[in-house]
């Protein structure tokens, strides 16, 4: 009888910062019912990977679930697979953190289930050749990767009926290819389709191995899969079909294969992920060309044959594509460097261990990239990883600062190339605030961490053009062109109408202390969609900077001589902004000085962007407050103008934060939201990112005269 070996695996994960109701829904619809069915079918073997995030949640909410896993491990049904505890993109973090996260999850699996895991789940299957040695050092014997990785190395389908060995610097790792065919048949086609596929590759010696490994959430959480898998009984029927054919289908665990079969051979895989991920990492205009080429191949029935030769980009380029992703990554590197500086003396300290674990939680991969799922655009996920890293820094402060400094406050300033762009940034750290400045980009403030609440108050996305936006525009164009139907490749589902009208793009990074000189006809609506005309050249230009001290406080003095178009002439203006941080109090004093360097009287319209990112644009407990004014709409996603005021607050009752702005010159204050249109598994959606507070003044400057302004930004908690 011709026989075949089948290894089944599932990967189960929820990101740090995901809502508890999402965990509950996934537990009720996917994780628990899958185990319940598995218990009823003792002959079915499955390898399972749960991230540490999930295992912690199970222990807190449903410890009995861990008991059931342990029982299934003991009776030989489940093989547990390790990974990075907080599901990092492995190439995205330092080697010491790679090894630490793997050791933490492996130890947790041992403690909770009794299993010695030697397999590694590679997050998003993002592979680079040097990982072979890292995983070997972590005592991992194998990992599981898409068969497309192997095909990129030149292997054919018939050569992928087993596993291979690879190495880096002589350290070896076994790698199993996931059969793409099974990822599409399980659970979306009748079980017999999978059985027939297995029958087609069975062999006389029975040594052909086929691997299925995919997200556990596709068994209950993906759209319509709970009804399909459980109410309509797909999984039950699939397990019964396997049981009915166990005379020729041998269900195996990966560890079992390693112990009984040799590798097919040695292979070296190129850098890769699954096909869609490599496409998403490309620049937007290149994705358009990539999609057009794919469409041509599909239209000529050539795609399935030649898709292995159609390669997209490289995961690391998400850090170049999105400055927001790069900011998260470089923050994690910076915190890691802080930990490394104290590791020798403090390694056994409880505070050190807590700080290290917080950093690792901040390395959870989900908000570092963007594809068909919200990822980077989901502010609750960014908030969670920033919170973890800021909490890590606070614990390091407690570990490294003297008792006097902790009581009376302290302040440090560093100037170095934080974001690896070839230009120095400045980081100011105090007992209550971290401020990150870019002299080369408008003298802007691009991160402001409020430590008591562990939040980056400037955690926003700018509005980037995404490749999938053209699908929205095509739908609208087709609607106006005699209701033509869009290509099957370009079908669109929208969570609300009119999203195509909300596609606006920012030409500068959204952050604070961006200096604008407006033309006389500028409107709030133009500013809100970044379509206003700038009269000055200050927004993205480089500023000079000097650092000085005033008593216990530190001063950053940014200055620039630029030009403002007044009545058709480029007039010279010197702009100084002096930022003062208090060592103890969460307050920033900002002084502006504009100097007319011409011999003409100048009429100027000057304003400053401030960003406040507090997660929810329409929540009743997050709002604008202006003393003496009753705002008609005050939610954070509101748009409006309030004239001649000296104070404004942005309040978040949920976090207990009041971000208060005070101006010593009465200002007209404009406000508007930054909202992005992004793609998710449920369709296109509008996501609130932050609010812009834009105080502005109309100024008349005599020749060689100056105008000064003082702003205090104070955060109450």
Among 204-218, 307-321, 385-399, 424-438, which stretch is predicted with the lowest mean pLDDT?
A: 307-321
Note the pLDDT tens digit of each residue in 503-513: 999 999 999 99
The answer to whether the beta carbons of residues 555 and 589 sit under 8 Å apart is no
pLDDT of residue 343: 83
Q: Which band of pLDDT confidence, cut at 50, 70 and 90, is reported for residue 498?
A: confident
Torsions phi, psi for 700 (to 5 deg): -115, 120
Report how far residue 597's alpha carbon sits from residue 704's, in angstroms, rounded to the nearest whole number.
5
pLDDT score recorded for residue 476: 57
CB-facing half-sphere around the CA of 12: CA atoms within 13 A: 29
| Strand ranges inside 182-335, DSSP E | 209-215, 249-251
pLDDT at position 485 is: 32
The pLDDT of residue 373:
75
Task: Determine the pLDDT at residue 493.
Answer: 77
Pairwise pLDDT comparison (474 vs 443), residue with the higher score:
443
Catalytic residue among 56, 157, 215, 506: 215
| Tens of pLDDT, residues 54-85 | 999 999 999 999 999 999 999 999 999 999 99
**What share of the chain has pLDDT > 70, as a percent?**
97
Does the fold of domain 505-716 match that of domain 4-272? no
pLDDT range class, residue 515, cuts 50, 70, 90:
very high
CA pair distance 530, 524, nearest whole angstrom? 10
At 598-627, the pLDDT tens digits run 999 999 999 999 999 999 999 999 999 999
The continuous run of DSSP H or E covering 580 comes out as strand 569-581
> What's the pLDDT score for residue 305?
83
Mean pLDDT score, 460-465: 96
pLDDT at 478: 54
| CATH number for the segment(s) 4-272 | 3.20.110.20
pTM: predicted TM-score of the whole model, two decimal places = 0.94
308 pLDDT more than 50: yes
DSSP labels, 70-129? HHHHHTTSEEEEB--TT-B-GGGS-HHHHHHHHHHHHHHHHHHH-----EE--GGG-B-T
Measured distance CA(607)–CA(711) in Å, rounded: 12
Catalytic residue among 25, 39, 124, 685: 124
Confirm if 121 and 144 have CB atoms less than 8 A apart. Answer: yes
Q: Return d(Cα 671, Cα 691) in angstroms, integer.
A: 7
Model confidence at 477, pLDDT cuts 50, 70, 90, reads low
Please state which of the four CATH numbers 2.30.30.140, 3.40.50.620, 2.70.98.10, 3.30.365.10 is assigned to the domain occupying 505-716: 2.70.98.10
What is the mean pLDDT of the segment spanning 444-463?
A: 97
Q: Could you tell me if 603 and 617 are in contact, meaning their C-beta atoms sit under 8 angstroms apart?
A: no
Q: Which residue would you say has higher pLDDT here, 224 or 176?
A: 176
Confidence tier at 481 by pLDDT (50, 70, 90): very low
Q: What percent of the chain lies above the pLDDT cut of 90? A: 84
Query: Which of 499, 497, 450 shows the shortest CA–CA distance to 473?
Result: 499
215 is catalytic: yes
- Would you place residue 344 in the very low, low, confident or very high pLDDT band (cuts 50, 70, 90)? confident
Confirm whether 621 is a catalytic residue. no
Q: From CA 560, how far away is CA 575, in angstroms rounded? A: 5
Q: What does the pLDDT read at residue 680?
A: 77
> pLDDT band for position 484 (50/70/90)?
very low
127 and 138 Cβ atoms separated by less than 8 Å: no
Cβ neighbours around 691 below 10 Å, total: 26
Give the residue-averaged pLDDT of 629-646: 95
**Tens of pLDDT along 238-253?**
999 999 999 999 999 9
Contact 131, 270 (CB under 8 A): no
pLDDT reported for residue 304: 82
Query: Does the pLDDT of residue 494 top 80, yes or no?
Result: no
CA quadruple 348, 352, 357, 362: dihedral positive or negative?
negative
Domain boundaries, the chain: 4-272, 316-456, 465-504, 505-716
pLDDT tens per residue, range 640-687 = 999 999 999 999 999 999 999 999 999 999 999 999 998 877 788 899
What whole-number distance in Å separates Cα of residue 601 and Cα of residue 45?
A: 83
Among residues 202, 160, 177, 174, the alpha carbon closest in space to that of 259 is found at: 174
pLDDT in tens, 375-400: 999 999 999 999 999 999 999 999 99
Mean pLDDT rounded to a whole number for the chain: 93
551 pLDDT band, cuts 50/70/90, is confident
């Amino acid at each position: 009888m011709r026989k075949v070996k089948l290894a089944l695996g599932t990967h189960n994960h929820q990101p740090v910062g995901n809502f508890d109701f999402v965990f509950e829904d996934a537990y009720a619809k996917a994780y628990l019912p899958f185990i319940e069915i598995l218990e009823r079918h003792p002959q079915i073997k499955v390898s399972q990977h749960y991230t540490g995030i999930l295992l912690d949640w199970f222990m807190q909410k449903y410890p009995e679930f861990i008991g059931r896993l342990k029982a299934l491990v003991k009776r030989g049904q489940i093989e547990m697979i390790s990974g990075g505890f907080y599901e990092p993109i492995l190439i995205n973090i330092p080697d010491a953190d790679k090894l630490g996260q793997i050791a933490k999850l492996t130890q947790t699996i041992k403690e909770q289930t009794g299993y010695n895991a030697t397999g590694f789940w590679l997050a998003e299957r993002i592979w680079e050749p040097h990982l072979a040695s890292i995983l070997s050092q972590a005592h991992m014997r194998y990992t599981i990767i898409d068969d497309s990785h192997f095909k990129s190395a030149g292997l054919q389908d018939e050569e992928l009926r087993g596993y291979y060995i690879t190495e880096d610097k002589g350290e070896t790792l076994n790698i199993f290819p996931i059969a793409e065919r099974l990822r599409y048949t399980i659970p979306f086609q009748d079980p017999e389709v999978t059985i027939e596929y297995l029958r087609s590759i069975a062999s006389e010696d029975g040594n052909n191995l086929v691997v299925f490994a995919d997200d556990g959430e596709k068994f209950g959480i993906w759209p319509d899969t709970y009804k399909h898998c459980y109410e309509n009984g797909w999984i039950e029927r699939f397990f019964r079909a396997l049981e009915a054919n166990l005379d020729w289908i041998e269900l195996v665990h990966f560890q079992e294969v390693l112990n009984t079969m040799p590798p097919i051979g040695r292979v070296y895989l190129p850098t890769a992920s699954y096909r869609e991920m490599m496409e998403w990492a490309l620049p937007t205009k290149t994705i358009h060309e990539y999609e057009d080429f794919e469409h041509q191949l599909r239209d000529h029935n050539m795609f399935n044959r030649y898709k292995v030769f159609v390669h997209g980009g490289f995961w690391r380029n998400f850090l170049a594509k999105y400055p927001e992703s790069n900011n998260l990554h470089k923050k994690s590197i910076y915190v890691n460097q802080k930990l490394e500086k104290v590791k020798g003396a403090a390694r056994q300290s409880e505070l050190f261990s807590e700080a290290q674990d917080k950093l690792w939680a901040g390395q959870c991969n989900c908000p570092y990239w963007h594809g068909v799922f919200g990822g980077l655009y989901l502010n609750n996920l960014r908030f969670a990883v920033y919170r973890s890293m800021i909490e890590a820094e606070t614990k390091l402060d407690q570990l490294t600062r003297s008792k006097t400094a902790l009581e009376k406050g302290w302040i440090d300033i560093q100037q170095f190339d934080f974001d690896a762009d070839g230009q120095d940034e400045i980081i100011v750290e105090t007992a209550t605030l971290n401020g990150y400045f870019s002299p080369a980009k408008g003298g802007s403030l691009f991160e402001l961490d409020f430590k008591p609440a562990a939040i980056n108050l400037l955690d926003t996305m700018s509005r980037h053009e995404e490749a999938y936006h053209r699908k929205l525009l095509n739908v609208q164009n087709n609607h106006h062109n005699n209701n033509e139907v869009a290509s099957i490749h370009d079908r669109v589902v929208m969570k609300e109408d009119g999203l195509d009208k909300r596609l606006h793009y920012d030409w500068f990074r959204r952050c604070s202390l961006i200096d604008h000189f407006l033309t006389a006809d500028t409107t709030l609506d133009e500013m809100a969609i970044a379509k206003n005309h700038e009269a000055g050249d200050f927004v993205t230009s480089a500023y000079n900077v000097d650092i000085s001290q005033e008593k216990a406080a530190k001063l950053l003095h940014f200055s620039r001589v630029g030009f403002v178009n007044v009545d058709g002439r480029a007039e010279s203006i010197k702009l100084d902004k002096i930022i003062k941080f208090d060592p103890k109090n969460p307050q920033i004093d900002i002084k502006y000085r504009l100097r007319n360097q011409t011999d003409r009287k100048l009429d100027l319209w000057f304003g400053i962007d401030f960003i406040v990112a507090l997660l929810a644009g329409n929540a009743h407990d997050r709002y604008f407050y202006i003393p003496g004014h009753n705002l008609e709409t005050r939610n954070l996603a509101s748009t409006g103008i309030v004239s001649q005021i000296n104070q404004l607050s942005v309040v978040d009752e949920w976090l207990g934060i009041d971000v208060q702005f005070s101006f010593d010159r009465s200002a007209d204050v404009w406000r508007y939201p930054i909202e992005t249109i992004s793609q998710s598994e449920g369709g296109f959606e509008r996501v609130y990112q932050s609010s812009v507070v834009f105080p502005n003044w109309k100024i008349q400057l005599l020749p060689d005269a100056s105008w000064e302004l003082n702003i205090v930004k104070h955060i109450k908690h």
